[in-house]
Amino acid sequence: MSVADFRAELGDIPQEDNPRIVQQRSRDHYWYSPVLKAKLDHVSAEVVVSPRSTEEVKTVLRAAYRHGVAITPRGAGTGNYGQAMPLSGGAMLNMMNMDKVIEIKRDRVLAQAGAVLEKMDHETREAVGSELRFHPSTYRMASLGGFIAGGSGGVGSVRWGGLRNLGSILGLKIVTCEAEPRELGLVGEDVLKVAHAYGTNGIIVEAEMPLAPAYDWIDVIVGFDAFMDAARFAEAVALQDGLLVKEVSPCAAPIPEAYFNRHKPYLKDGQSVVLIMVAPVSMDSLALFVDHHKGEMRYRADLATEDEKRRLPPIYELAWNHTTLRALKIDNSITYLQTRYPTIEHVRRIVEMLGDELPMHIEMTRQDGVVTFSGLPMVRYTSEERLEEIIRIHEDNGCNVFNPHRYTLEEGGMKRTDHKQLAFKREADPKGMLNPGKMVAWENPDFDFNAGKAWLFDGLNAVR
Ligand code: FAD
């Protein structure tokens, strides 16, 4: 590999090689995990390249292929399992210069991969009164391409499911890494070859996403003395077809009082809460529903003063992985898991077994039409062994864990090869230049996921 020869072929495409800046841009939020922090802290690329057009992406990938330089694509770098960490060094491909919204229709939007999700919503709201169906809680920073390649769902998933569902991504335009890079259009089920593949088998340059009607969503916090009452209420809200909600998230005490600093004046010590975003048309019905469930309305943004609203972060920035981020700012021994609890009884059992070692945080989502308890519980971390034990306790009790303490696609997901993604990598990245080390099936096809060992990418040693 010759990074110098690679760079010489890039013409006037912006490059950055100041080691301090390159190191900053070689990081995502991998430090959410103490396990990944120990493994990935030393990782850095050698140069950051920032193409401004699809043609420039092709120029970069042509040179990368020719000179054997690893390419790690990056949006805003908010992924939190090391997806955008350049395990083999090489070049970071910063996609944030490609940030245009190309076309807006009432029910869909076409944009470049570096478009920031919040900015996309501003434009679509203004043009046609529509917004993205769902977005990660990193809405204000995250890019469209990064969300599709590294994320799964978020605020709005209680109604619209996740990125994996057919119809959640209408089309992708990608560039391959070959002697002569190609532009390929993927639609229908083919988008799943590249969605949530961490950029290992194609660089997304454009995406078309479906839109939903936009509302002036109202932030609401409801308090309950017992967490299981909060969880029951959250499930009931998500199941109420007439209530138009975008976010429903029960958080167990002491999460709110300990970590939701700016909302503290509205909270009651010892209470668990349910965070909700509701459309104005459903606010009165929601208030009635809160009464029926004997909850306490702790905060309603529609009754707050302008000054209060200015001082408070939006409620979605208390939810999803922001819940953990707020805790980490106060207590750096906190980490988290990603789980799925098949029923409320599973939630109850895990809460009873693990107590305050696992402060419970759930996101209500819809998966294949079923309202589901998607867990993002915090973990009071003591050791890697205990973390593995907590994972085992979940699995032994019939709950799924998507391990966020692994940087590979398979180990963080379903612990098995995605053959469609692997086959597409053979076609689109025959030399394995794109984000090396993230797809076990490519690097080590014989790896046994059931042997109970974490896979370690050899290339990691080379960048020490
Ligand atoms: P990056 O982190 O830059 O990249 C993510 C992955 O995509 C990497 O593997 C990268 O190599 C690849 N990639 C980036 N751009 C491209 C491209 N153009 N083509 C191909 N591959 C590409 N995730 C959720 O799903 N839901 C949430 O609610 C959520 N909340 C979060 C809250 C916090 C506080 C944090 C830190 C993370 C959260 N995440 C969430 C994870 C992450 O923020 C999102 O997935 C986000 O959408 C990633 O966007 P990004 O632009 O930062 O991508």
Q: What are the residues whose beta carbons fall under 8 Å from the beta carbon of 443, sequence distance 6 or more?
A: 432, 436, 437, 457, 458
114 Cα to the center of ligand 1, angstroms: 11
CA distances from 95 to 294, 311, 407 (A): 48, 32, 21
Nearest partner of 320 among 158, 192, 91, judged by Cα: 158
5 Cα to the center of ligand 1, angstroms: 30
Q: How confident is the model at residue 415 (pLDDT cuts 50, 70, 90)?
A: confident
CA nearest ligand 1 atom 40, residue:
136
Helix (H, G, I), strand (E, B) or coil at 40: helix
Q: Is the CB of 83 under 6 A from ligand 1?
A: yes
189 part of a folded domain = no
The pLDDT value recorded for residue 464 is: 47
Cα separation, 136 vs 48, in Å, equals 25
Number of domains in the chain: 1
165 part of a folded domain = no
Q: What is the token pair recorded at 122?
A: 């501003």
Q: Which CATH number characterizes residue 352's domain? A: 3.40.462.10
298 Cα to the center of ligand 1, angstroms: 32
283 part of a folded domain = yes
Q: Is the pLDDT of residue 362 over 50?
A: yes
* pLDDT tens-digit map of 165-195: 999 999 999 999 999 999 999 999 999 999 9
The pLDDT value recorded for residue 455 is: 86
107 part of a folded domain = no
Q: What residue type is assigned to position 35 of the chain?
A: V
The pLDDT value recorded for residue 462 is: 60
Task: Give the residue numbers spanning the domain of 274.
Answer: 218-401
Q: Flag whether the ipTM exceeds 0.95.
A: yes
137 part of a folded domain = no
Q: Locate all alpha helices (DSSP H) within 129-241, ordered by sequence.
A: 144-150, 157-160, 227-239
* pLDDT tens-digit map of 256-288: 999 999 999 999 999 999 999 999 999 999 999
